[in-house]
Amino acid sequence: MKHDHFIVQSPDKPAQQLLLLFHGVGDNPVNMGQIGSWFAPVFPDALINSIGGVEACGPDGRQWFSVQDVSEENRQARIDAIMPTFIETVRYWQEQSGVNAVATALIGFSQGAIMSLESVKAQPGLASRVIAFNGRFATLPETSSTLTTIHLIHGGEDRVIELSHAVAAQEALIRAGGDVTLDIVDELGHAIDDRSMQFALDHLRYSVPKHYFDEALSGGKPNDDDIVEFM
């Protein structure tokens, strides 16, 4: 599969986790790779890869779908048109790394967060974690699986993707029985800062997925494949 990407970290031994990064409109995988560098010391056994959008956007940028004349009415259709390629890209890197979905995290900012959120709506269980910085769903989910733990991290002063979208996403996922957290970063706009990153790192290291509790209450136990996690 040919697509722009930037390897942030590739461990010498077989990877135990896979962290895939997805940038915003007009950005590129090298720039987004700087976010990946925060995760590398914490997850030294992870393959960390920053993925570029499929279309050129601006002099040095990429995008997954055009935002020209985008609206609430046409956004979902644009995402649906490219979603098979996005999912194929995630599957490709899972195969290349030898890491399955339960040890895969999708980490996106802005449009990259939108694509990550929409991907686990379209393909439940595609990854075990989604970190969505300043993102949203195109349309709110009516169903949700606890196979994926979703961490929403949003600037309180975001005027590009309003905080209300993250709040609505959290509420919809809770109603649907999903596994979700929301952290609001005070006085932050449409950006990622060190507070955002600390939220993300803490969630990957310390948050216990809801499905573990569900399995314990039902008298079950995690599958062996679930043992390799982000904690």
CATH number at residue 200: 3.40.50.1820
Domain count, the chain: 1
- 205 in a domain, yes or no? yes
Catalytic residue among 158, 165, 196, 203: 158
Paired residues of 183 in beta bridges: 153
Annotation says 10 is catalytic: no
- 183 in a domain, yes or no? yes
- 231 in a domain, yes or no? no
Question: Per-residue pLDDT tens for 13-48?
Answer: 999 999 999 999 999 999 999 999 999 999 999 999
- 73 in a domain, yes or no? yes
Q: Are 162 and 218 in contact (CB under 8 A)?
A: no
Give the pTM: 0.93
- 89 in a domain, yes or no? yes
- 148 in a domain, yes or no? yes
Annotation says 211 is catalytic: no
Question: Per-residue pLDDT tens for 213-225?
Answer: 666 666 655 554 4
Per-residue pLDDT averaged across 57-76, rounded?
95
Annotation says 158 is catalytic: yes
**DSSP character at residue 99:** -
Catalytic residue among 97, 110, 119, 144: 110
Instruction: For residue 53, give its domain range.
Output: 5-226
State the Cα–Cα distance between residues 175 and 178, nearest whole angstrom. 7
